[in-house]
Structure 1
Amino acid sequence: MTAFDLRDLAGTTAVVTGAASGIGAAIARRAAGLGMRVVLADFDGDRLDEVANEIAATGAEALAVRCDVTDPDDLERLAAVTADRFGSVRLLVNNAGVDSTGRLWELSPERFERVLGVNVTGVFHGIRAFVPRMLAAGGPAHIVNTASIGAVTTVPTQAAYCASKHAALAMTECLAIELAAEQAPITVAALLPGPVHTAIYESAGSDGSAGAATRDRMEAFLRENGVTPDQAADTMFEGLAAGRFWIYTHPQRADDLLRLRADRLTGHLAPTAP
């Protein structure tokens, strides 16, 4: 990937899913601060409007589009509305994500399918809706898919989330290879946040006593130890500008987990909790 100056983004358009709160809202604010026009998408329309109005109050152009990323028609509509309003997209951030905790045999099918629907299929729908338009535009563009540090490890009672993020990361790697093979001027990056103080566990579902305990523990852990969403957004843009594929909010923790996973895979070792 090629490094570039973030000032080059001024006057171009960013689309961010999961933009009503947390990392997505912070990325949208940061994009607006760089002079970008911002299209914010989320299922939570009320909070989405609040963030968009806050951004617009700074003088930036912001468009809120209520969108369920699990619905391919919604993503096609998002892409069409964006094209009609702002033209081509320079930055797409497939960021929408949810979690649900519990032992695998206790998770309800509905919760499991919702996590995979948002975290995996939602990324796919975003790629499918926007990449053909990016290719047709022919100019430089960037795609960032939000995975997680959970994409390179496995954690008990968070199997749905880990499975979804492993899949999202694999899809992101495949996308990067495919676009490179087409010699397209589109860069791809994977954002792998560690602990970030967001409301993800306040709204997360859980099944069974172990799931409830994990949800409560993780909510407290993020509150006490997580970096802010603004810090995560800054890290994303810094990594993007530096031309990195792998963007970590906690690089040392990521290195530790990657070494552990590499040792486990190359040593044919049974899994253990990190």
Structure 2
Amino acid sequence: MADESSITMDVRETFEGKTSVITGAASGIGEGIARVAAEAGMKVVLADVAEERLQRVVKDIRSAGGDAIGVVTDVTDRDAIENLADVAEDRYGEITLAVNNAGIESIGFSWEIDPATWDRVIDINLRGVIHGTRSFARRMISRGTEGFIANLSSVGGLGIMPTQTPYIMSKHAILSFSECVYLEMQFAEHPIHVSAVLPSSVRTRIFDEALTDRNSGFTEGQRVRMAQAIEHGLTIEEAGRRILAGIAARQFWVSTEPEATAAFAAQRARYLEELRPPALTQEMRYLLGE
């Protein structure tokens, strides 16, 4: 892995002066990507439903000399995504980079999770990525120049975890969706690079804000243990630099920690090759509180 300064330089060579749109950009990995994109000289359009946090990040980027705007956007709404793209093009012209990042977590047994929570996780994590990919792909294809679409999966997209089923399922689906779109771009011979981003341990608030039954000692305890497990991970800016470097290098598999991703992939490959039944690991048992 190159050092952080060279990563920023690589990203600048590819993206300086161009426009990026990043969903879920008011916090977490999306915020990190937005800040690094601005540092690299991109014009950045940040999208999120959390207006106050969104404007805080926009203000910070501008204070640091970056060029950014915020657009309150619900990624589950196709029309809202189209509006986001329209606003971005009206303000900055061609969109070169679209990062479909918005996502949420939930904790609980599949049969106990409220149907509304199931719908919300799938709508944001999966349909939001689909809406964004389709909208930005059409616009990039119509202009015929090089473009980049990055979809946020997770190392969880290479694994399994009880009581995180909606999230894990959505990340597996994002990965397979991105693989298929990558092949479609190849077949249609469009100069659009598709990346699947698989972050590992990054210091975000995803578990602090995970949808749980807060009256349940089990789900609350697991939420705390999961949050503790990532508190020593990469900062969001470190993750953003590594992610943008991978995208700029036109990689399909983009990781914040390549060794961890390779280990997950190898474990998954063995599991599938041997057609093993799912098994509770020691790590799973710890996170579940056993």
Q: TM-score range by the shorter chain?
A: over 0.9
The answer to whether the 8 Å contact 2:148/2:193 transfers is yes
Residue equivalent to 1:211: 219
2:274 aligned with 1:267, yes or no?
A: yes
- Deviation for aligned residue 1:273: 3.1
Q: CA deviation at 1:92?
A: 0.4
In the TM superposition, 1:28-67 aligns within 5 A as: 28-67=34-73
Task: Determine the structure 1 residue equivalent to 2:260.
Answer: 253
Residue 226 (structure 1) aligned to one of 227, 233, 255: 233
Counterparts of 1:64 and 1:141 in 2: how far apart (Å)? 21
SS for the counterpart of 1:41 is strand
Amino acid at match of 1:273: L
Q: Which residue is equivalent to 2:191?
A: 185
Cα distance in structure 1, aligned partners of 2:117 and 2:105: 9
Q: Secondary structure at the match of 2:71?
A: strand
TM-score scaled by length of structure 1: 0.95
State the SS of the aligned residue for 1:206: coil
- The residue identity in structure 1 corresponding to 2:271 is R
The C-alpha deviation readout for 1:67-101, integer Å capped at 9, x for no partner, is: 01011111011011111111111110001010001
Tell me, yes or no, if the aligned pair for 1:157 and 1:210 is still in contact at 8 Å: no
Contact 1:192-1:247 at 8 Å conserved across structures: yes
Stretches of structure 2 lacking an aligned partner (at least 5 in a row): 1-8, 282-290
1:172-208 C-alpha deviation (Å, 9 max, x unpaired): 1111111111111110111100111101111111134
Report the TM-score when normalising by structure 2. 0.90
Aligned length: 270
Question: How many Å separate the matches in 1 of 2:109 and 2:205?
Answer: 22
Q: Which residue of 2 aligns with 1:240?
A: 247
CA distance in 1, matches of 2:150, 2:104: 17
Residues 154 and 273, structure 1, Cα contact 8 Å, conserved in 2? no
Q: Is the CA contact 2:24–2:47 (under 8 Å) kept in the aligned structure 1?
A: yes
Q: 2:74 aligns with which of 39, 55, 68?
A: 68
For residue 5 of structure 1, report the CA deviation from its aligned partner: 4.8
- Whichever residue aligns with residue 220 of structure 1, its letter is Q
Q: Classify the secondary structure of the residue corresponding to 2:230.
A: helix
Matched, 1:176 2:182: yes
Q: Percent identity among equivalent residues? A: 41
SS of residue matched to 2:275: coil
